[in-house]
């Protein structure tokens, strides 16, 4: 199974083109990162893929079926989305919020039962946040809310998971745990598409990357081929060295000149 983004473009107005002619593929069991500076359109691209924005050109399809031609429940069975900014519309408990992830797989007007709550609890345990189960989703911290929203999409069990800056509100330890989870989910057969501002996270995940520049230019390929000192300088305008770490057993990004 594959999620195909084909010549996708989006503009708010003819004079405000965000990106154009972007093409890449997310295969089941793989991780693709969207990397680039503020304003290059990473979140907007995710919103076009999930259908929150209507692309001005191109298409999004899963195994040849256009997302636009599918019913909402069908889309939700294929694509799950964790946005960066999450507001609570209702004062659910955390467990009741997470169990709503089962909705795409349930009949209309059916209430979640024992099996659905068991699935939700399993997702909380996987995230290590079952202690939050009875707390108000509206009253937990931003970082906790982000973890809960990831638990909800795990409960949803879509074929592809879209994550917008999933580590942005998290402390360092939880950032690493989420990155480990992303790799685990890929090994389990999910396809993952996530945005990040951190090129080191792209190297940690060791998948593929769409390196987006303001103005719409982009590069797509294996992370170790695309995330180079030259590319990062083009994206961010600063000097970054790529060095191999024996302790980490991978390449790492090092900002040059900081602290001198």
Q: What is the pLDDT of residues 41-63, one digit of tens each?
A: 999 999 999 988 899 999 999 98
* CA-wise closest residue to 224 among 241, 208, 243, 201: 208
Q: Give the residue with greater pLDDT, 89 vs 50.
A: 50
So what's the pLDDT on residue 221?
A: 96
User: Where is mean pLDDT largest: 82-96, 125-139, 238-252?
Assistant: 125-139
Cβ-Cβ contacts under 8 Å for 87 (sequence gap 6 or more):
none
**Residue labelled with tokens 């999910």:** 190
Q: Are 203 and 174 in contact (CB under 8 A)?
A: no
So what's the pLDDT on residue 259?
A: 58
Mean pLDDT of 127-145: 92
So what's the pLDDT on residue 92?
A: 87
Mean pLDDT of 219-248: 91
Q: Residue by residue, what is the 3-state secondary structure of 99-148? A: HHHHHHHCCCCCCCCHHHHHHHHHHHHHHCCHHHCCCEHHHCCHHHHHHH
So what's the pLDDT on residue 195?
A: 96
When pLDDT is cut at 50, 70 and 90, the band that residue 90 belongs to is confident
Lowest mean pLDDT among 44-48, 52-56, 78-82, 107-111: 107-111
**Residue labelled with tokens 């592809």:** 160
Domains of the chain, each with CATH number or no CATH: 2-86+159-255 (3.40.50.300)
Q: Give the residue with greater pLDDT, 172 vs 72.
A: 172
pLDDT greater than 90 at residue 105:
no
Q: Are 210 and 34 in contact (CB under 8 A)?
A: yes
Q: Give the residue with greater pLDDT, 107 vs 6.
A: 6
Q: How far is CA 159 from CA 20, 29, 77, 96, 162, in A?
A: 26, 10, 7, 23, 10
Strand partners, 82: 163
pLDDT in tens, 191-206: 999 999 999 999 999 9
The whole-angstrom separation of Cα 165 and Cα 116 is: 28
């Amino acid at each position: 199974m594959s999620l195909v983004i084909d010549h996708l473009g989006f503009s708010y107005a003819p004079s405000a083109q965000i990106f154009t002619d972007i093409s890449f593929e997310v295969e089941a069991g793989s991780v693709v990162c969207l990397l680039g500076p503020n304003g290059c359109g990473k979140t907007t691209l995710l919103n076009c893929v999930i259908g929150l924005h209507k692309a001005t050109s191109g298409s999004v399809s899963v195994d040849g079926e256009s997302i636009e031609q599918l019913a909402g429940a069908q889309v939700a069975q294929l694509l799950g989305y964790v946005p960066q900014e999450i507001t609570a519309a209702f004062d659910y408990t955390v467990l009741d919020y997470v169990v709503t992830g089962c909705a795409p797989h349930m009949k209309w007007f059916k209430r979640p039962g024992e099996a659905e709550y068991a699935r939700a609890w399993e997702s909380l345990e996987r995230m290590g946040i079952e202690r939050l189960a009875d707390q108000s989703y509206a009253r937990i911290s931003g970082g906790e809310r982000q973890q809960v929203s990831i638990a909800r999409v795990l409960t949803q069990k879509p074929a592809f998971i879209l994550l917008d800056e999933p580590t942005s509100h998290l402390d360092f330890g939880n950032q690493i745990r989420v990155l480990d989870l992303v790799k685990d989910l890929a090994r389990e057969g999910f396809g993952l598409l996530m945005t990040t501002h951190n090129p080191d996270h792209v190297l940690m995940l060791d998948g593929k990357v769409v390196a987006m520049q303001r103005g719409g230019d982009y590069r797509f390929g294996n992370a170790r081929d695309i995330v180079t000192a030259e590319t990062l300088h083009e994206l961010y305008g600063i000097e970054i060295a790529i060095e191999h770490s024996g302790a980490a057993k991978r390449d790492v990004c090092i900002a040059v000149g900081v602290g001198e």
